[in-house]
Structure 1
Amino acid sequence: MKAAHNSPEKFIWEPMRVPAGGAASQPKILPKIMVWLILFVSATYVVYTLKLVSSSHAAGLACAGDADIFHKTLHLSTANATIPPPPTTGLEHIVFGIAASAKLWEQRKEYIKLWWRPERGMRGIVWLDSPVKTHRNESGRLPELRISGDTSRFAYKNKQGHRSAIRISRIVSETLRLGATENVRWFVMGDDDTVFVKDNLVKILNKYDHNQYYYIGSLSESHLQNIYFSYGMAYGGGGFAISYPLAVALEKMQDRCIQRYPGLYGSDDRMQACMAELGVPLTKELGFHQYDVYGNLFGLLSAHPVTPLVSLHHLDVVEPIFPNATRLEALKRLKIPMQLDSVGLMQQSICYEKKNGWTVSVSWGFAIQVFRGVLSPREIEMPSRTFLNWYRRADYTAYAFNTRPVMRNPCHKPFVYYFSKARTELSTNQTLTQYTRHHVPHPQCRWKMASPGEVETVEVYKKPDPHLWDRSPRRNCCRVLSSKEKRLVIDVGVCEEGEVSEV
């Protein structure tokens, strides 16, 4: 085995041995091989060197191009950064279309005078069904008056309604056709008995891009109304807004659209039918108030949703919002806090007077309620049923929101304080609003605790917060500062870190 193993080794290695006699011929062959090897390596090196140099030059040009593009992009970005953003929407960008009737004009025009301010660039037209008497002293206090176009060519087949709904539904289109649309971003519809909070309306519209299609408004308070008409319809009495591009699109097709719906009842459901054909849904903003209710608005206003108050409607149907005043007197009183801090108007805050065990609900600029005992914010933020449904036979389940019954326990009946006056504290940049007790009979309470009836006046300090609605929705917090000498003093403002409404 060993001999067999060694035999191949001899075979492999023996040819590599150089015999003594062949040593003289080896030097002649080796130089030739070495020369060719050196030439081959040199040629290969030259070729690869040339390729490397050319690719590096191309890469350098590419890098220079990239750098040039980068610098150009950076320059454009810097240039764009210096372009100021488009100006925010103001009253001068809105055109109001007010639906009115000659029969009620003398009475209803007083509502319009409360909020109409042409000196602030407001534009709008009141569209009437027939001419009305005008007065010289009202010049500048009301929008321009115009008569709606003839609608006799349109069919109307609803036996319960009135064909004036057709002319009212065409107000936006007729306003657009007048041609005075320079710098217009929004068309806002309302009735002659609608009162707008102008600055809050502007605040709402600034949330949306006026270059897009927007149909903005709110529903009825009555669940039955919304079922009968539509939960996707903006109610015209509460007001609604249409962006300019959408108004242009509507005007082009509205007359044809109206012809397709002769059986509809009103103007707002005709408007919504055309919006449906355009494919534009309702964008809901709860601050537009239709107020399809009867009776007293106190329960609704004292628990206003956490959103800007934009409009009030059906003011001829409900009771005056302040007691012992006419409807106009009550609205004029509301204008005082509206001018001081429209952003915070009607906004609810809930806190507790711990020493006496009272619950305090502040509806800023309107009213304050003080309850004996501790009631949860979940309960207090629901409107109490001081009002009746639009359908008088309907019960409390026929509202489109939660409500709570008026307190049955005599000890839980709230003591109410209505807004009376206000001023600005220049030294602290705060508003000081005063609320006076509304004296009504209170049932006897046997609880052995202090009665809020001892308090005659409530004073509320609040710093105006113009950016309140630029943040996520949240109720303001209130803090009881003192409770003595028949006076309750409260501070209202943005909630601090970790602050909650609890005892």
Structure 2
Amino acid sequence: MKDPDKIIWEHARSPKSGTPLGGAAASQHRTLPKLLVLLILFVSVTYVVYTLKLLTTSRDCHEPPFSTHTHILSGIGLTAIPTINATASTLRLLNRTSAVTRRESRETATDQTQLRHVVFGIAASSKLWEKRKNYIKLWYKANEMRGVVWLDNKVSSGGMGEGLPPVRISGDTSKFSYTNKQGHRSAIRISRIVSETLALGMENVRWFVMGDDDTVFVTENLIRVLRKYDHNQFYYIGSLSESHLQNIYFSYGMAYGGGGFAISYPLAKALQTMQDRCIQRYPGLYGSDDRMQACMAELGVPLTKEAGFHQYDVYGNLFGLLAAHPVTPLVSLHHLDVVEPIFPNVSRVEALQRLTVPMKLDSAGLMQQSICYDKSKSWTISVSWGFAVQIFRGVFSPREMEMPSRTFLNWYRRADYTAYAFNTRPVSRHPCQKPFVFYLSKARLNSTTQQTLTEYERHRIPHPECRWKMANPAFLDRVEVYKKPDPHLWDRAPRRNCCRVVKSSKKKKGTMVIHVGVCGEGEVSEA
């Protein structure tokens, strides 16, 4: 029995088939070649006619539009505009482009973000205002900056008369729910400071910078950081806590407000339109920082991390952190009421006032670490410019020296060294490896040599007896550091400056002389 499909197939291909379908197909096959021949003939004739027309109407190369001569328009008495030679046109176009480029370059130089483009929003408490306003006075310049201090209640003194920003009272937040039993509902009003500052309608604003009343900003370095970013885009810039546990409890994607953070103007506008609705959705959050980050998450804007904003969620002595500052501009210091004064034997405010002297001379280099060696004495030297110099007996690698020594305690007092969000090293217990510390005492600029001279005096505390047979740094009383100001330090790729021990004259007995500056070709920190 044959397959029915095979029978149908053979029937269809048989020439004896008399169906109309078979006849139509055969007729179609005979017509197709004729159509193709006619199409080819039509295209060929068209091409020949077009070519002949082009040849008969071609003009001499000296006739318009290639000529630079003037011709009389036919039929009317008007003179034609001279046509421009192609080469001359190109040159003029290049000249115009070059002029535009130069103008844009000048505009870019003059259009850089300046302090006048920044508005500070400072969160403050009426109960602590009399004490903490002194921190603001250290860095805020009323004739150069714009800002607002936002308080919870009225205060008897303070404001522009004392060189401070104007004081305002935050808006009523009673309509917002707050359910966190460990926190305080003032977090809601603080989280709204950026939006309330925006609502004041200040002109020509590019950035809103948030901080606390115990935050000290290095404003020149703040501007250096902000210039890296396009203020017309959505940017949320800040840094994390030093406490790993804090970052876990809150967020590794959150800027800590005490250390300060910056929000670009367009982002602030977007935030203002939705923030009140956003806050209502997070009644259980603890503080203002996490509420702000929650709204940033809803806007889809991540944290841009800049390590120079310092929350300083630590207790005790900041020396280890400041003496090994990361290779980035120092932007802010926070929790200054919690930690010890950064210089010994003075008050907190007096210590910070001392720091402002080198800050004015070379803000870009403030706290920047340099590591070098006195090979003749087998000493390791670490310079934290404008703050302190350390001299160690023996050789410590740069890898060790750039780690902060644990002179401070964790924010969570029961936590150990593993609870920091960065690498640290223990304070040496060996009697011969305890550093000799020299703190900043004076700073000035030599107008002739255009070099800064910073002097550091030894911190005289008892040192344990060392039995190593090597030179003893205890015979030094002072360290002098020479350095040229380098305002463009952060315009280059990040790199530590190099330091070199200079052979001092016999007249400077008890004094070590060090030169700090940009590393030379092939210069390496090695013993």
**TM-score, length-normalised on structure 2?**
0.83
CA deviation string 1:347-380 (max 9, x = no partner): 0000001111100000000000000011100000
The correspondence for 2:494, drawn from 473, 476, 493, is 473
Paired residue type of 2:361: L
The correspondence for 2:140, drawn from 116, 132, 152, is 116
Paired residue type of 1:160: Q
- Residue 134 of structure 1 corresponds to 157
- Residue 413 of structure 2 corresponds to 392
Larger radius of gyration: 1
Cα distance, 1:74 vs structure 2: 3.6
SS in 2 for 1:102: coil
SS in 2 for 1:397: helix
Contact 1:195/1:312 (<8 A) preserved: yes
The correspondence for 2:469, drawn from 448, 459, 467, is 448
Q: Percent identity at matched positions? A: 72
Paired residue type of 2:187: A
Cα distance, 1:65 vs structure 2: 9.8
- Residue 5 of structure 1 corresponds to none
Distance 1:242 1:251 in 2: 12
Distance 1:57 1:384 in 2: 85
Paired residue type of 2:271: L
Distance 1:459 1:487 in 2: 7
- Residue 198 of structure 2 corresponds to 176
Cα distance, 1:302 vs structure 2: 0.0
Contact 1:195/1:313 (<8 A) preserved: yes
Distance 1:309 1:441 in 2: 32
Contact 1:126/1:146 (<8 A) preserved: yes
Q: CA RMSD of the aligned region, Å?
A: 2.3
Cα distance, 1:231 vs structure 2: 0.5
Contact 1:346/1:364 (<8 A) preserved: yes
SS in 1 for 2:344: coil
State how 1:350-429 maps to structure 2 within 5 Å: 350-429=371-450
SS in 1 for 2:438: strand
Distance 1:448 1:388 in 2: 34
**Structure 1: gaps (5+ residues):** 1-44
Paired residue type of 1:157: T
Distance 2:62 2:411 in 1: 79
Q: Mark the CA change 1:46 to 1:403 in structure 2 (over 3 Å): closer, same or farther.
A: closer
Cα distance, 1:410 vs structure 2: 1.1
Contact 2:236/2:303 (<8 A) preserved: yes
Distance 2:65 2:264 in 1: 49
Cα distance, 1:470 vs structure 2: 0.1
1:96 equivalenced with 2:132 (yes/no): no
1:343 equivalenced with 2:360 (yes/no): no
Distance 1:58 1:191 in 2: 76
Cα distance, 1:61 vs structure 2: 7.8
The correspondence for 2:174, drawn from 152, 174, 193, is 152
1:232 equivalenced with 2:235 (yes/no): no
Q: Mark the CA change 1:75 to 1:459 in structure 2 (over 3 Å): closer, same or farther.
A: closer
Q: Mark the CA change 1:47 to 1:146 in structure 2 (over 3 Å): closer, same or farther.
A: closer
Contact 1:127/1:147 (<8 A) preserved: yes
SS in 2 for 1:488: strand
Cα distance, 1:72 vs structure 2: 7.5
Contact 1:460/1:489 (<8 A) preserved: yes
Cα distance, 1:56 vs structure 2: 6.7
Distance 2:503 2:114 in 1: 40
1:304 equivalenced with 2:332 (yes/no): no
Contact 1:417/1:438 (<8 A) preserved: yes
Cα distance, 1:131 vs structure 2: 0.3
Q: Mark the CA change 1:461 to 1:58 in structure 2 (over 3 Å): closer, same or farther.
A: same
Paired residue type of 2:408: F
Paired residue type of 1:91: L
Cα distance, 1:391 vs structure 2: 0.3
Cα distance, 1:57 vs structure 2: 7.3
Distance 1:333 1:165 in 2: 33
Paired residue type of 1:123: R
Cα distance, 1:237 vs structure 2: 0.1
Q: Mark the CA change 1:434 to 1:65 in structure 2 (over 3 Å): closer, same or farther.
A: same
- Residue 324 of structure 1 corresponds to 345
- Residue 51 of structure 1 corresponds to 54
CA deviation string 1:448-469 (max 9, x = no partner): 0010111100000000011100
Cα distance, 1:482 vs structure 2: 2.2
Q: Mark the CA change 1:48 to 1:417 in structure 2 (over 3 Å): closer, same or farther.
A: closer
1:208 equivalenced with 2:211 (yes/no): no
The correspondence for 1:494, drawn from 487, 511, 518, is 518
- Residue 21 of structure 1 corresponds to none
Contact 2:158/2:167 (<8 A) preserved: no
Paired residue type of 1:88: Q
Paired residue type of 1:133: S
Q: Mark the CA change 1:54 to 1:204 in structure 2 (over 3 Å): closer, same or farther.
A: same
SS in 1 for 2:237: strand
Paired residue type of 2:357: I
Contact 2:217/2:333 (<8 A) preserved: yes
Paired residue type of 2:524: V
- Residue 278 of structure 2 corresponds to 257
- Residue 77 of structure 1 corresponds to 97
Tell me which moved more, 79-88 or 415-424. 79-88
Distance 2:50 2:127 in 1: 101
Q: Mark the CA change 1:152 to 1:373 in structure 2 (over 3 Å): closer, same or farther.
A: same
The correspondence for 1:192, drawn from 202, 207, 213, is 213
CA deviation string 1:34-56 (max 9, x = no partner): xxxxxxxxxxx999776335467
CA deviation string 1:227-252 (max 9, x = no partner): 00000000000000000111111101
Q: Mark the CA change 1:489 to 1:259 in structure 2 (over 3 Å): closer, same or farther.
A: same
Q: Mark the CA change 1:66 to 1:159 in structure 2 (over 3 Å): closer, same or farther.
A: farther
1:105 equivalenced with 2:129 (yes/no): yes
Residue-pair matches, total? 456
Q: Mark the CA change 1:297 to 1:69 in structure 2 (over 3 Å): closer, same or farther.
A: same
Q: Mark the CA change 1:53 to 1:359 in structure 2 (over 3 Å): closer, same or farther.
A: farther
**Structure 2: gaps (5+ residues):** 1-47, 67-82
SS in 2 for 1:410: coil
Cα distance, 1:423 vs structure 2: 1.3
Contact 1:118/1:140 (<8 A) preserved: no
SS in 2 for 1:201: helix
SS in 2 for 1:210: coil
SS in 1 for 2:127: helix
Paired residue type of 1:212: Q
The correspondence for 2:184, drawn from 148, 162, 166, is 162
Paired residue type of 1:456: D
SS in 2 for 1:142: coil
